């Protein structure tokens, strides 16, 4: 299949707010793919190429595009050819590879039409605004393969790989209809993590869940740990393998009285008094390629598999009992209750210990991989939202020479206030930025620069930052109709993707309160 057909389908999806029309466009594309085109095509559609990150930056892509000259009028690139070129790009490394990599990029851009260049650039640079496309793709895949939607959705969640799910679904023969339903938990293969909704108070959360496990919400980094014998693998919330970075976590899990297990939890750094260090300290150690002085301690709040027994469809009460049996010394603190006063007390204890708040989890809930529902509800006393940096203004006074005042955007998945999957500006802030962060972001933002004016540098919307606010107020200045009140930076969230940022609808929901 020509790449142009994939680009046309992507444009059709971006150009409509109708979910049905999006599904129609994607299902039509999927049914026309050859078997060896399915995984590459799905990867490009959701801006996650099969090869992962191939090390292409703004400057390299711009240089290749400029060297390629005017784009051809007629499309000729196929999906398979693009996939092969990305394989070559990934395999080209080491001394003297810069010229060879640039030659491959030029070969790619020389053959790409203007629309294909734009699409490929956004895929490789992580700027493609997919919005809620993965969910739409699941529906399109169900239609294209004539498979039940819930079966496709569960397979995608448990495999953590939409491309592989599509390959299985579209390759199923009439005599093996159960192939997709057979996709299940595999120790060593990460699954999408279950997510939590939010509530204003522990009592409100208990009112939604009923009897629940009320657990400390740690200000750490989400981890999923798999063990098969002595082989231990640690994954991030985005399913990246970071085993080599966390030897202390590997050691803890190897010491548990199990042979095969999948654990869900958090890891964070502690100070000399066993109090949690700031999130930035945890993420600095979490992202280090080599061990540093600060150790990361694992705490687990769920177990999905133990020694041949899948637990995701069992109630939380059963999973917690297994967790207590195998890892009693590494459980996140909490208690089970249906009493709002107990929930408030646990929340106060968590805050006094230096943690963020609590997560209230319905005691009879199953583990819904990849889903955010009302079974898990997080409660934090300070409102925090994950937003995307759209631009920054040059500072003045003591901050002269630094990019300081951040322009913040919330995600607009359905295009209610702009482009579907785009970002709507909701405010600015320079508060909470240390000299170290100012130095880092000044350098990083210029690497991500897309345009600038005399005072402002606009960047690709790829950086997620956690912002604390006191609320929102109505505003005619911003297209979403809301502006942040007393916004301040808590931390950059390298562990989160832009399509995981909070939505403009979530912020607008605060107005009703």
Rounding to the nearest 10 degrees, give the CA dihedral for residues 268, 385, 207, 509. Answer: -170
CA distances from 283 to 55, 324, 330 (A): 22, 27, 20
The helix (run of H) or strand (run of E) holding residue 440 is: helix 435-447
Nearest to 269 by CA among 255, 283, 258: 283
Tell me the C-alpha distance between 438 and 66, whole Å.
32
| Catalytic (active site) residue 496 | no
Tell me the C-alpha distance between 461 and 483, whole Å.
19
List the structure tokens of 312.
């995701």
The answer on whether 301 is annotated among ligand-binding residues is: yes
Q: CB 309: neighbour CB atoms within 10 A? A: 11
Tell me the C-alpha distance between 194 and 335, whole Å.
20
CA distances from 29 to 11, 496, 501 (A): 12, 29, 28
Q: What is the DSSP string of 120-152?
A: HHHHHTT----TTHHHHHHHHHHHHHT--HHHH
The answer on whether 372 is annotated among ligand-binding residues is: yes
Tell me the C-alpha distance between 462 and 479, whole Å.
21
Tell me the C-alpha distance between 329 and 305, whole Å.
19
Tell me the C-alpha distance between 60 and 55, whole Å.
9
Burial of 349 (0-12, 13-18, 19+ CB in 10 A): middle
Q: Check 22, 217, 380, 496 and give the catalytic one.
A: 217
The answer on whether 222 is annotated among ligand-binding residues is: yes
The answer on whether 17 is annotated among ligand-binding residues is: no
- Beta carbons of 258 and 284 less than 8 angstroms apart: no
Query: What's the chain's length in residues?
Result: 513
The answer on whether 215 is annotated among ligand-binding residues is: yes
Tell me the C-alpha distance between 359 and 270, whole Å.
20
Annotated binding-site residues read 215, 222, 237, 266, 301, 372, 378
Tell me the binding residues for ATP: 215, 222, 237, 266, 301, 372, 378
Q: Which residues are catalytic?
A: 217
């Amino acid at each position: 299949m020509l790449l142009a057909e994939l680009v046309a389908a992507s444009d059709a999806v971006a150009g409509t707010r109708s979910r049905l029309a999006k599904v129609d466009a994607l299902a039509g594309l999927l049914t026309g793919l050859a078997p060896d085109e399915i995984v590459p095509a799905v990867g490009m559609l959701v801006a996650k190429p099969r090869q992962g990150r191939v090390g292409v930056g703004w400057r390299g892509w711009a240089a290749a595009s400029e060297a390629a000259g005017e784009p051809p009028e007629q499309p000729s690139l196929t999906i398979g050819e693009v996939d092969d070129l990305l394989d070559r790009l990934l395999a080209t490394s080491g001394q003297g590879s810069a010229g060879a990599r640039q030659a491959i990029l030029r070969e790619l851009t020389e053959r790409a039409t203007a629309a294909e260049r734009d699409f490929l650039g956004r895929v490789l640079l992580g700027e493609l605004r997919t919005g809620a496309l993965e969910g739409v793709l699941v529906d399109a895949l169900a239609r294209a393969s004539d498979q039940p939607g819930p079966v496709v959705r569960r397979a995608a969640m448990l495999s953590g790989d939409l491309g592989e799910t599509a390959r299985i679904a579209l390759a199923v023969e009439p005599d093996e209809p159960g192939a997709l339903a057979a996709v299940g938990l595999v120790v060593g293969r990460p699954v999408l993590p279950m997510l939590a909704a939010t509530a204003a108070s522990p009592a409100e959360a208990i009112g939604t869940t009923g009897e629940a496990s009320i657990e400390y919400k740690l200000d750490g980094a989400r981890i999923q740990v798999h063990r098969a014998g002595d082989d231990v693998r640690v994954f991030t919330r985005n399913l990246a393998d970071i085993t080599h970075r966390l030897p202390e976590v590997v050691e803890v899990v190897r010491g548990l009285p199990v042979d095969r297990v999948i654990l869900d939890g958090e890891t964070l750094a502690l100070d000399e008094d066993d109090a949690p260090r700031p999130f930035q300290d945890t993420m600095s150690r979490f992202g280090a390629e080599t061990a540093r002085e600060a150790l990361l301690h694992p705490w687990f709040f769920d177990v999905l598999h133990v020694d041949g027994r899948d637990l995701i469809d069992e109630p939380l009460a059963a999973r917690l009992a297994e967790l207590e049996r195998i890892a009693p010394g590494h459980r996140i603190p909490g208690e089970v209750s249906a009493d709002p006063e107990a929930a408030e007390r646990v929340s106060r204890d968590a805050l006094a210990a230096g943690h963020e708040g609590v997560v209230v989890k319905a005691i009879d809930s199953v583990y819904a991989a990849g889903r955010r529902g009302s079974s898990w509800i997080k409660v934090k006393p300070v409102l925090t939202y994950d937003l995307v940096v759209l631009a920054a203004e040059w500072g003045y006074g003591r901050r002269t020479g630094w990019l300081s005042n951040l322009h913040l955007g919330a995600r607009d998945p359905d295009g209610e206030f702009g482009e579907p999957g785009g970002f709507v500006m909701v405010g600015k802030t320079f508060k909470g930025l240390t000299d170290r962060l100012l130095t880092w972001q000044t350098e990083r933002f210029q690497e991500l620069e897309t345009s600038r004016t005399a005072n402002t540098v606009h960047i690709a919307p790829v950086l997620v930052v956690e912002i604390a606010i006191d609320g929102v107020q109505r505003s005619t200045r911003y297209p979403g109709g809301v502006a942040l009140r007393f916004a301040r930076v808590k931390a950059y969230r390298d562990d989160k993707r832009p399509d995981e940022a909070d939505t403009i609808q979530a912020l607008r929901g605060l107005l009703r309160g």
